Chain A
């Protein structure tokens, strides 16, 4: 089995069509992208015991008792911890195993990711069946989270090597899949839960089991579709530009050296700030449009959100979900659009657009809200979401330009810790500012204004971080003929070096 998965076994034969690699990458990214769609399980899981209604746990039951209780239902807020686990383990496993991926090759990494992500679903199915939330957290959150990280970075360097002429487009295609995974997974889960539901069962554990198997097969197919180009391979008819752009290197920086450079940390900040702003918007999209426009959304202009009746609020909730769905389409469209455009525009200029245009749009959003222009408000956030997705999809090519292609998968893995950090900063910032505003009597329709200006401020900082990015200093590059450094120094060797 190890032989089949080895790096040496996947060197492509002459005549191999490089356009077979993006579908393999998409098979993996579309599967792991379901992480974004897990909220589809929360409502049925919050009624797993009571079936038709949620059975609350007795007052005074401790946290540990709730973790193993089988007679009362889980709260949605407890289930929501899954998202935190996803992003923490995605970032940390990508950072930890990126170097291993470069050494062992993408097929082995993809296969391990399939086992972790698919296997995580199976453990979660057991957790739901036994009604043990800690099993779900370990299954999908921890084991699945490791699968997320490995699966996410597995195709990056392979695609960049296959598409040296269109690095942005190639990685954009794969990362678009991560954005699109929930679009397939959420409705599929909904269909499966309805199919498996009975008067005594909400049908979730069976859905987990089915989806785990589907994802395992899809991801294994993707992993076995990976091929690496032979050393020195170039697309037919393509020659590297003679006049090489200053911001694109043809040499390589080792992963252990890359994070000692200011460029790594500037790009870390660039990703962190861009994602923090976008994640904040994604998290609050639905309540935001409802509270900002209130009755105007259902042809009752002038009626604030709080003055609406319950049925009217239900109507608004449906429209809020529609707004969130629309944003997710623009999120994935932006991944392929901006990453492809960056091949022509240059990576740094593309990020200047993200930060410049993004600042302008965030600052304009409160004005659109005050003017009561739903169309303008929706359009602003659709464009913002394209740039959120574009930021994710363009960063691998930016890294390859700065640090070379040899270790870009591992370097990208380490950079993804910025995503984990953004997963904490963005929602916390948005939620706390909103609460603070509401506590001080600011009307709900205006509670997001300060938030928008703060997010615009984050993008201004990101603009200057991007502006500070310069070509990597000569001393960081591997020299021609220099033996490849060890991935991680052995403890004794490291101790000797320190001494």
Chain B
């Protein structure tokens, strides 16, 4: 997500960039939630 060479070039942001950005934050968060839920599952055993 670096600065565009021409900040007013008007091209839409590429979709892959948005997908990668969400993946980079979503994957660790999903791992964290999974790990926590696995720990919490003991409560229901």
Chain A residues packing against B (C-beta within 8 Å): 4, 9-17, 19-20, 23-24, 26-27, 30, 177, 180, 183-184, 187, 221, 224-225, 318-319, 321-323, 325-326, 328-329, 332, 378
Contact = CB atoms under 8 A, between A and B. Distances in A.
Interface of chain B: mostly helix, strand, loop or mixed: helix
Given A15-B13, A20-B13, 6 more contacts: A4-B3, A27-B24, A27-B25, A30-B29, A184-B31, A378-B43
Given A23-B24, A225-B1, A183 B29 contact: yes
The 5 tightest CB contacts between A and B, nearest first, are A183-B32, A17-B13, A326-B40, A184-B32, A23-B21
Contacts, number: 96
Given A23-B25, A183-B36, A329-B36, A13 B7 contact: yes
A288 to B, nearest CB: 14
14 contacts: A13-B4, A14-B8, A14-B10, A17-B12, A20-B18, A20-B21, A23-B21, A184-B28, A224-B2, A318-B42, A322-B43, A323-B43, A325-B37, A329-B36
Contacts of B25: 23, 26-27, 30, 177
A299 to B, nearest CB: 11
Given A24-B1, A177-B29, A322 B42 contact: yes
Contacts of A221: 1, 24
A17 B16 CA distance: 11
A378 B15 CA distance: 41
Given A20-B1, A26-B29, A225-B1, A15 B41 contact: no
A183 B39 CA distance: 11
Interface of B: 1-4, 6-13, 15, 17-18, 21-22, 24-26, 28-29, 31-33, 35-37, 39-43
A175 to B, nearest CB: 13
A9 B18 CA distance: 20
A225 B12 CA distance: 16
Nearest to B20: A23
A329 B8 contact: no
Contacts of B37: 325-326, 329
Contacts of B6: 13
A13 B22 contact: no
A24 B13 CA distance: 15
Given A318-B42, A329-B36, A20 B17 contact: yes
A187 B1 contact: no
A325 B33 CA distance: 9
A13 B36 contact: no
Contact of A326 (B15, B18, B28, B43): B43
A27 B18 CA distance: 14
Contacts of A184: 28-29, 31-32
Contacts of A325: 36-37, 39-40
B39 to A, nearest CB: 4
Contact of B33 (A15, A16, A180, A224): A180
A224 B3 CA distance: 8
Nearest to A176: B29
A326 B17 CA distance: 33
A285 to B, nearest CB: 11
Contacts of A224: 1-2
Contact of B8 (A13, A23, A322, A323): A13
Nearest to A226: B1
Nearest to A15: B12
A193 B24 CA distance: 24
Contact of A15 (B2, B11, B24): B11
Contacts of B29: 26, 30, 177, 180, 183-184
B43 A319 contact: yes
A211 to B, nearest CB: 13
